[in-house]
Amino acid sequence: MRYKTIIKNLIPHFLVNRYLRSQIKKGAIDSSYMEILEMGNSILQDLFSIKVFNSQSRKYVYIGNDNMLDCQILFESGNGVVIIGDHVYIGRSNIICRSKIEFGNNIFVAWGVYFYDHDSHSLDYKERQKDILQQLRDYRNGESFIKNKNWDVVNTAPIKICDNAWIGMNSIILKGVTIGEGAIVGAGSVVTKSVPAWTLVAGNPAKFIRELK
């Protein structure tokens, strides 16, 4: 019985890796993603990319099946994870992650959307002054300009986009926000607070417009 369980767990992993290797061979996926990406039979479009500063030896991105993704995913600190379910379309948008950004199933994300799960800098101006000096020092030393950034003073909180949501173009989804099931975010919105399921929000900051059936 134990051997059957082991085989059952290994087969999906084997098939996923075989699919990834076939896509790499065709030139559809950057070979460097093998170490940081786990994916089903999704489509990665021309502008799709993953970049990790100060990377660790682990998976950073988990992508399910039947997705079409043209987004750029950035891990600035070497921490964080991005999870994308099934049947998700993400246009030419940006996912900037330090903790966790999770997408459910059957989601549309238009072009120009930003998901940002941290503040990037401290609210304390003295810490921001230190950031400027640190960036200059690292860059002049030939390093990534955020190699030695102090992330301990930066607020961060996960983002979650629930099933059947729709995010309009040029919207910004900030840290700690959950977009509820079936919710719609109007184009150009700045979402600073969680959105209840089956509601339409829009504006800067995003506000309730109406309920959806």
Q: Catalytic site residues?
A: 121
Structure tokens at 174: 């900030």
Residue 13: phi and psi, rounded to 5, are: -60, -40
- 39, 63 contact by CB (below 8 A): yes
Determine the Cα–Cα distance for residues 122 and 192; give it in Å rounded to an integer.
17
DSSP state letter for 205:
T
Spell out the alpha helix ranges (H) of 71-211: 125-140
Q: Which of 106, 97, 111 is nearest to 45 (CA)?
A: 111
